[in-house]
Amino acid sequence: MEVALANLLWGVLVMGGKPSRFEGRLGKALRWARSNWQVLLFWLACAFAGWYLGAKGYGMAIYFRITGINPQEWTPIMRLSAEKDPKVGSEISLDGLVDWNGKPLKLPYKEGATGVLFICGQCGMEEKLATFYEFAQHYSGKLKMVVVYVGQPTDELLVFWRSYEDVTWARDPNLSVFERLNALYMPRFYLVGSDGTLRYISPIVGYLWSSERWRQELERVGRILGR
């Protein structure tokens, strides 16, 4: 059927008289279609399957199964917020992050991956920081951790600052990176390659997770680092 349709369109084009520039391009497209109709059929089948799964809500179900997220945690407003997330595989910018003296940081690091953790004073900072610090230490040969603190510094933060010396502490004074990476729900973790490519972004529901749940998630991130 596909071949017959392509032949019919080709016949109409040939019999239409002197070909125009548009007809010339159309002719090339039709010639390609005649010789690659199997590819077109496969593409149409995949497109229909994607549309059908999305319309039925199966796409999110597959996502929940892969990530281990409880769908009941995924509220409608969070789904809307997640639509603003940068896409894994896209190039992102960390320009705007500074150290605690206000000096711009040159990120991502050129050797290994850069882990960027956005955190605030109300994010269960003590337990979560310990979990991420253990992760960073375990993969110290492949990862350098940057902790971006959002909010006004507190005495508690200064204690952590002195405790985790191997971590780069940063601020985002204009919240420019915060907005670009959609870090509204914290803690939120990003894994950035040396070329600026986003390799991982934690699910937006991570702000509800316990330290133990984060450990499970970071095991999955570790498998990405191991590739």
* pLDDT value at residue 71: 54
Whether residue 203 is contained in a domain is answered as yes
pLDDT tens, residue by residue, 189-213: 999 999 999 999 999 888 888 999 9
Q: For the chain, what is the domain count?
A: 2
Domain annotation covers residue 101? yes
pLDDT, tens digit, 9 for 90 and up, residues 9-37: 445 444 444 455 555 667 776 777 677 76
Tell me if residue 212 falls in helix, strand or coil.
helix
**Domain limits at 89?**
73-225
- Do residues 7 and 98 share a domain? no
Same domain, 158 and 210: yes
- The DSSP code for 103 is P
CA-CA distance, 65 to 55, in Å (whole number)? 18
- Residue 7 covered by a domain: yes
What CATH number is given to the structural domain containing 136? Answer: 3.40.30.10
**pTM higher than 0.85:** no
In a domain, 6, yes or no: yes
What 8-state DSSP symbol labels residue 96?
T
The answer as to whether 61 is a domain residue is no
Say if residues 44 and 148 touch (Cβ distance below 8 Å).
no
- Find tokens 């749940």 and name the residue: 213
Residue located via tokens 């390609």: 32
DSSP structure class, residue 90: S
- Residue 125 and residue 209 in one domain: yes
Domain presence at residue 66: no
Question: Is the pLDDT higher at 143 or at 54?
Answer: 143
- 118 is a domain residue: yes
| Parallel, antiparallel or unpaired: strands 168-170 and 188-192 | unpaired
